[in-house]
Structure 1
Amino acid sequence: MNDTRTKGDAKLDGDTPTLRLFGLLEVIAEKDQFFTLQGLVDETGLPKPTLHRMLQQLEAAGMLQRDGAGRHYSTGVRLRRLAENLLLNNTAHGARHAVLRQLVEEVGESCNLTAFSGSEVLYLDRVETAAPLRFYLHPGSRVPAHCSATGKLFLAQLSPAQRRRLLAHVPLARYTENTLTDLERLEAEIERVKRAGYALDDEEFLPGLLCVGVLVPAPDGGKSNLGVALQAPIMRLTPDKAVHFLPALQRAAAALAAIEAEAAAGRGDTEETE
């Protein structure tokens, strides 16, 4: 029998309606902007009534939501929470935590692992320093990307058009006198971050707190959704001193990348044996 399915149709293969809904979510998860019913029809080749019914089911379940005049869809709160919980609780957590703990022992300051979630930075894990003066930010905490070191790194991976689309709907709230709330100044800072390969949060989110961060390289060499950062009070850490910690951060990032690559390879081996 000739296989006449389109690329999109193949993604929606499944023996049950539930699996086909999951396949549709996989298609949707690859999108970086709002999408329409007609756009999905064109992409998948499925009948419009079928896709409309599937979208209604996903919207009712909180996996999708409608925006604007109701013609455009985007990911829903429930779907985003699912993705975040997977990041927070995956099987590599113990190994990643050990890398963070070793980094804290080396640099003597609190360190954290973050991911990009919507327009915010999500703290996946954190190890505190034993120093008496420190700032507490527990796993699950969120920080706006525009005033976070790793947040700027995540933003720097987006195309200018993607950044404009994201930031156009996000208020650049001022948290301190140093917070960048002007789009042009933020764009200039993001360009500097792209050239430097690291980013600083110089009292931009909390007064008296300085942070330096780097990205964890993605296993496939593409965009990374993991960052590692060091935080300390300004009485112990200045921007100049923060740069001296970059080699330690980069070694930790490489170790974390190896863990992610091993986990990805393990998932591939499991799929091949099923």
Structure 2
Amino acid sequence: MPKVSSITRVLEIVEAVSYAVKPLSPLELSQELDIPKPTIHRLIQTLVEEGFVGVDIGGGIIPGKRVRNLSIELWQQRQFFDERQLILQELVKHTKESCGIAVPYQMSMLYTNRVQTKLPIQIYLPVGSKSPMWCTATGKLYLSQLSAPKRAKMLRQLSLDKYTNNTLTDIDKLNAELDAIAETAVGMDNEEFIPGTFSVSVPILDRKSRYVASLFVNAPTTRVSLEELLTHVPKLRIAAQEIQTLLYELDEVQA
């Protein structure tokens, strides 16, 4: 059997941690990757020191800041950014309202793509803007996709500030809404972040049906009702599928 280089083993650890649906223990990584326990502990320690992986409160290995930053940079590569923009432009033509994509990043939702409506009243949330998770359609959709332990941990870490009269800050009520969103896979913001604004979102998934990002449409309450905005969900799902196809093509190019 050919000798496996340390670089290959390091990359295999980062890949396994990034794809795992839950934090993996060093023993699980050792068994999954067929790496001796002394070696896995040494490599994990190096990766922790360099910021590529971290250790959660239960001792599980999770992606570190440098991996999360790298994932955002890859997501924003010019070619694929432009192709997502074209899909959003078509979506805006159908919905007549502003549409965009947001991804979870450092306890917030980061807007990575956006196309504005041409109608006179607009909500200004440019690419690079961040919004809270607990009171936005994109953020609540993300939280709804987490496992119960990970969601509970995330909610404990969020500030749960009240932005409007409709913002849910009670964890039990918020959890109930997140459970409902998990059933429908449709996130909703009923004037919970910005007064006078409705928003609806659907997930963008990878090949294994894991959450990647939230695709959203938002509009001022003076122009549409939340019920009217929800009628665009089928169009959002079609656009999400088109973006997912781009992800699959990226995987094939990098394979």
TM-score category, normalised to shorter length: 0.7 to 0.9
The equivalences for 1:171-250 within 5 A come to 171-216=159-204, 218=205, 220=207, 222-250=209-237
Aligned equivalent of 1:125: 113
Structure 2 vs 1, CA of residues 64 and 259 (structure 1 numbering), >3 Å: closer, same or farther?
closer
Equivalent-residue separation in structure 1 for 2:85 and 2:3 (angstroms): 37
DSSP 3-state at the match of 1:147: coil
Aligned equivalent of 2:242: 255
How much does 1:166 deviate? 2.9
How much does 1:66 deviate? 4.5
Structure 2 spans left out of the alignment, 5+ residues:
none
1:25 to 11, 14, 17: 14
Structure 2 vs 1, CA of residues 37 and 126 (structure 1 numbering), >3 Å: closer, same or farther?
same
Question: Is this contact kept in 1: 2:13–2:29, CA < 8 A?
Answer: no
How much does 1:236 deviate? 1.6
Aligned equivalent of 1:4: none
Aligned equivalent of 2:157: 169
DSSP 3-state at the match of 2:118: coil
Deviations along 1:87-133, one digit per CA (max 9) or x if unpaired, are: 12264322211010111122222110123346432222111122333
Equivalent-residue separation in structure 2 for 1:219 and 1:79 (angstroms): 17
CA RMSD of aligned residues (A): 2.8
Give, as a single letter, the amino acid of the residue that structure 1 aligns with 2:93. Answer: E
Aligned equivalent of 1:93: 81
How much does 1:67 deviate? 5.2
Deviates more, 1:76-85 or 1:48-57: 48-57
Question: Is this contact kept in 1: 2:110–2:131, CA < 8 A?
Answer: yes
**Does the alignment pair 1:65 with 2:49?**
no
DSSP 3-state at the match of 2:70: helix
DSSP 3-state at the match of 2:140: helix
Equivalent-residue separation in structure 1 for 2:167 and 2:77 (angstroms): 31
DSSP 3-state at the match of 2:222: coil
DSSP 3-state at the match of 1:29: helix
Give, as a single letter, the amino acid of the residue that structure 2 aligns with 1:107. Answer: T
Give, as a single letter, the amino acid of the residue that structure 1 aligns with 2:14. Answer: L
Between the two proteins, the alignment pairs up a number of residues equal to 255
Structure 2 vs 1, CA of residues 89 and 46 (structure 1 numbering), >3 Å: closer, same or farther?
same
Structure 2 vs 1, CA of residues 250 and 39 (structure 1 numbering), >3 Å: closer, same or farther?
closer
Give, as a single letter, the amino acid of the residue that structure 2 aligns with 1:249. Answer: L
Normalised by the length of structure 2, the TM-score is: 0.84
Give, as a single letter, the amino acid of the residue that structure 2 aligns with 1:136. Answer: Y
Normalised by the length of structure 1, the TM-score is: 0.79
Give, as a single letter, the amino acid of the residue that structure 1 aligns with 2:13. Answer: L
Equivalent-residue separation in structure 1 for 2:54 and 2:143 (angstroms): 24
Equivalent-residue separation in structure 1 for 2:60 and 2:181 (angstroms): 33
Equivalent-residue separation in structure 1 for 2:60 and 2:245 (angstroms): 39
Aligned equivalent of 1:112: 100
Question: Is this contact kept in 1: 2:206–2:212, CA < 8 A?
Answer: no
Deviations along 1:203-259, one digit per CA (max 9) or x if unpaired, are: 21222221111223x353522313211112221232122123223323322332333
Question: Is this contact kept in 2: 1:173–1:181, CA < 8 A?
Answer: yes
Structure 2 vs 1, CA of residues 42 and 221 (structure 1 numbering), >3 Å: closer, same or farther?
closer
DSSP 3-state at the match of 2:76: helix
How much does 1:15 deviate? 4.7
How much does 1:35 deviate? 4.9
Question: Is this contact kept in 2: 1:155–1:190, CA < 8 A?
Answer: yes
Give, as a single letter, the amino acid of the residue that structure 2 aligns with 1:226. Answer: A
DSSP 3-state at the match of 2:211: coil
Question: Is this contact kept in 2: 1:32–1:162, CA < 8 A?
Answer: no
Structure 1 spans left out of the alignment, 5+ residues:
2-12
Structure 2 vs 1, CA of residues 236 and 66 (structure 1 numbering), >3 Å: closer, same or farther?
same
